[in-house]
Amino acid sequence: MGEQVQTPAAKIKKKKRDTAFTRVMKYTGVRLIALFLTVAIGVYLTIMIANMGGYVDEIMKGSIRENITMQLRMDDGYQEMAPEAKAAYLLAKIENEEKRLGLDEPFIFRSFRFLLNALKLDLGQATFMSSDKGSRSVRLIILERLPSTLLLMGTANLVLFFVTIVVALILSRKYGSFWDRFFVAASPLSAMPSWFYGIFFILIFAAVLKIFPFGGMIGSPPPETTGQYILDVLYHLTLPAAALIISAFPARVYNWRTFFMIYSSEDYVEMAKAKGLSAKRIRNRYILRPTLPMIITSFSLMIIAMWTGAIITETVFRWPGIGRLIFRAIGMNDTAVIVGTTIIYAYMLAATVFFLDFIYALVDPRVKIGGSKQKQ
Amino acid sequence: MSGIKKIFKELKNFPTAIVGLVIITILIIVAILTVIFIPYSEAKRQWRGDEAAVYLNPMNARPAWTNILRKDKWPESFNVVFSESDDVTYTVLPREEDDSEFKVVTEMSYSFEYDYGAFPQEILLYFEADYINSKPFIEIRVLTPEGRDIRIIRKGVAHTETYRFNQDLKLEQKLGEKSALIGLFSTIDPKDSDVPEVAKGTYTITVTSQTFEEGSNVDLEMVLHGLVFGATGTDHRRRDLTVALLWGVPIALLFGLVAAVGVSVLSMLIAAVSVWYGGWVDTLIQRITEVNMLLPFLSILVMIGTFYSKSIWTMLGAVILLSIFSAAIKTYRATFMQLRNAPYIEAAITYGASDWRIITKYLIPRIIPLLIPALVLAIPGFVFLEASLNVLGLGDPVLPTWGKVISDAYYQSALYNGQYYWIIQPAIMLIITGLAFAMVGFALDRLFNPRLREQ
């Protein structure tokens, strides 16, 4: 009986919690649908571009016809057939091959089936490419390349992320010093892309000094013991990682420095200084804390960037990662592989955007999920 | 006008910006002069690498100035058209008794100093013979500084014919060296018997021609391909790199400027429209931006280049289209949002100003300080993007550009073969251009946004 009696205060509390909960749920739902649609449209556009609006099919049909005609020319049994039987046999073979590659349906249907499979993360079979182990599955091809890309991009990005923030924090406290001016002056150097630094590193360290390899991920023949293998990979990793780090370093430091400087000139920081708080406490509580959302965004975008790899840097250093895979897939017109990498990228980005909203709410009390219309 | 003047005055406080402006001015002048003096059609012809355009150029030659660094100079290229040169001595040999009526024997000889420390890459003789029925007959001999008189070849010549020393296997066997020219130019007693050494001094090449008809005549042009060439050297297809280095200037400036202006102005306009009309227009633009940010930029560009067209205009258009709906739109949108509620805008609405007038006259001018530095800072990125596209094999097929030179060099393993000039020269051009705009851009950024200024 007692259960039914509720104090007015509890009633109000419950109602409030309900609205907060439904608000979050509603927001989450709407956001999820919006992001899903965005991913779907992005993936579909990629499919359309990768397939040239169906034009690639015509090219493929042409090459299938040619290949089969060539094959049959070598076939003695085929040569002895009657002309009508010959024509019928040829047509049947072509049809069979087109069916194998899924070319018998009109493109518009196929593109939607492709989209549906893509969204289900069923990446399908590659048309021309295969993994080093010989598999045609796009998922396996991508998975095989993933570790090397993660190694390269992970090393470079993690070093970049933490080192630039630390350097920027130090610089923001000592502005006008030599190193501060140095990084301000050096920031235009980041206009040069990493492959460009890569070519120079190859020139200096591989061609002239001969202390690092020209490219690749492992020496030939590969070393036998695991320890030596790891050392050899690290040895090959040095130049590409250095190129990625150094090309982005000055601009990142400059951006973070400016960002920290703006935050450390806020009134509450001055107030904390006046109160006589320790420099460490000021840094952690008054500068880093409010900049946390920005730092998290930067970190998650960095993780997404790791997925696509660095197409040109990997190509220049012959690094067997996803970037080079994309380049080769495009060279071979392998739509399935191109779309596969795009889907993964799109999903990663969408998931990051989605979770960022919640993380912001956790770290920044000013942000209320679904509360205000200001989303950024 | 006074605003621009003020900006220039303030820029004086940034020495890097002045350096940048000077470099940009020089680049613009070079670009204009290049387009005037090497017209587009000529640049295209040279870069296609037809035999007629490049026959004087050696392959993979270093720039001529590299000889300053060498103790033993590398040979430079030269050519002699025998009938036009004053240094060629002509002698008509006396007729012999049993000669036919029209037989004429002419001896043409040409001497040149060869004081270099390396062997020439190739010597070519381009023959042109006039005759109706009987081919003229020629004999070529070379007299070396050490007095060796070597017969190179005896043969009849057709109307046009080319003779290449290093492709004559018989001559190579006869001289017993790795190549015919090493055999021909090496000294009899080298310091190290295993390494052939150049015999320095005067070489004389003598071409004796016998013609058998009235009016029949043989002329030839001799081309010696050295190992150094011109101001900037040549590539694997014997093209003069100067053409690409010079033509790279207008192309890089054009690509960088058009892309940067196009992207910045269009994304600003779209952000203005998005904020001003709000509602579904705003939502639509926001969604397009999100979709676009999901698309992998380079992959899409590579696809467009591979499947549609690699023309620089297609690529430029694609780059602009893919870059308009980017993070920049969000920045502009946020700024416009603040402006939108400003009192002077409300005043404008009250007195009945049109939407277009408010966007162009009230909103956009306020965003210019954000726009201009961003625009200038975007230029280096696009200049390097053009080079990146070339390295990916998506360069315009006919245009000579810096990126094309770098990618050729890269795929010909120039670094591995020690042909550093091939990569360094276009790279320096790219760096200079990129840095010049970046320096000006950073200065403008600090000028327009004083919060970033030191002090």
Residues in chain B with CB shorter than 8 Å from the CB of A34 are 287
- Residues 255 to 314 of A: which have CB under 8 A from any B CB? 258, 262, 308, 311-312
In chain A, the percentage of residues whose pLDDT exceeds 70 is: 90
Is residue B268 scored above 50 in pLDDT?
yes
Q: What is the ipTM of this complex?
A: 0.79
Which of B294, B388, B437 is nearest residue A39 as measured by Cβ atoms?
B294
CA separation for the pair B368, B111 (Å, rounded): 69
Q: How far is it, in rounded angstroms, from Cα B136 to Cα B158? A: 8
Q: What 3-state class would DSSP assign to A278?
A: coil
- pLDDT-derived band at A374 (thresholds 50, 70, 90) equals very low
pLDDT of residue A373: 44
DSSP state at residue B234? B
Q: Select the more confidently predicted residue: B209 or B10.
A: B209
Q: What is the tens place of the pLDDT at every residue in B273-295?
A: 888 888 899 888 988 888 887 77
Task: Report the C-alpha gap between B436 and A346 in whole angstroms.
Answer: 36
Q: Closest chain A residue to B391 measured between Cα atoms? A: A312
Residue located via tokens 């060439």: B229
Point out the least confidently predicted range of A98-102, A228-232, B123-127, B379-383.
Answer: A98-102
Q: Between residues 70 and 89 of chain A, which touch chain B (CB distance below 8 Å)?
A: none
A187 touches B: beta carbon within 8 Å: yes
User: pLDDT (tens digit, 9 = 90+) per residue, B432-445?
Assistant: 999 899 889 888 88
Residues of chain B with CATH 1.10.3720.10: 2-47+240-454
* Residues from chain B contacting residue A185 (CB–CB below 8 Å): 16
pLDDT score recorded for residue A15: 55
Q: Nearest-CA neighbor of B265 among B315, B313, B323? A: B323
Q: Residue B447 carries which side chain, given as an amino acid letter?
A: L
Q: Which CATH class is domain B64-225?
A: mainly beta
A191/B392 touch (CB, cutoff 8 Å), yes or no: no
Architecture (CATH level 2) of domain A139-193+248-363: Orthogonal Bundle (1.10)
pLDDT in tens, B299-344: 788 778 877 788 889 999 999 999 998 878 888 888 888 887 788 8
What is the pLDDT, as a whole number, of residue B453?
47
Tell me the shortest Cα–Cα distance from B431 to chain A, in angstroms.
7
**Amino acid at position A120, single letter:** K
Superfamily for domain range B2-47+240-454: MetI-like (1.10.3720.10)
Residues 6 or more apart whose CB falls under 8 angstroms from that of A297 comprise A356
CA distance B126 to chain A (A): 38
Q: Is the pLDDT of residue A144 over 80?
A: yes
Interface test mutation site (partner B, options A330, A334, A342, max chain B beta carbons within 10 A): A330
Convert the pLDDT of each residue in A145-185 to its tens digit: 888 988 999 899 999 999 999 999 888 887 778 888 888 88
Residue B454: Cβ-neighbour burial (10 angstroms; 0-12, 13-18, 19+): exposed
Residue B425: predicted pLDDT: 93
User: Residue B362 is encoded by which pair of tokens?
Assistant: 């009230």
Which positions in chain B touch A56 (Cβ < 8 Å)? 307
Question: Which pLDDT belongs to residue A215?
Answer: 86
Question: What does the pLDDT read at residue A17?
Answer: 58
Residue type, A249: F
B53/B38 Cα distance (integer angstroms): 13
pLDDT in tens, B3-27: 677 777 777 778 888 999 999 999 9
A214 in reach of chain B (CB within 8 A): yes
Q: What is the mean pLDDT of residues B190-219?
A: 86
Please state, in angstroms and rounded to a whole number, the distance separating the CA atoms of residues B389 and B305: 9
- CA A61 from chain centre, in angstroms, equals 33
Question: What digits encode the pLDDT tens for the residues B230-249?
Answer: 889 898 888 999 999 999 99
Longest distance between any two alpha carbons in chain A, whole Å: 101
- Asked if B427 lies within 8 A of A214 by C-beta distance, the reply is no
Q: Do A196 and B418 touch (CB under 8 A)?
A: no
Percent of chain A's residues with pLDDT above 90 = 9
Please, where in chain A does CATH 1.10.3720 lie? Answer: 139-193+248-363
Instruction: State the Cα–Cα distance between residues B67 and A5, nearest whole angstrom.
Output: 101
Q: Please list every residue in chain A whose beta carbon sits closer than 8 Å to the beta carbon of residue B297.
A: none
Residue with tokens 């370093």: A249
A16 band by pLDDT with thresholds 50, 70 and 90: low
Say if residue A305's pLDDT is above 60: yes
A78, burial (CB in 10 Å: exposed 0-12, middle 13-18, buried 19+):
middle
- Which of A117-121, A204-208, A250-254 has the weakest average pLDDT? A117-121
Residue A139, pLDDT above cutoff 70: yes
Strand-pairing partners, residue B125, are B163, B222
Q: Which regions of chain B carry the CATH code 2.60.120?
A: 64-225
- Report d(CA A350, CA A357) in Å as an integer: 11
For residue B136, the 8-state DSSP code is: P
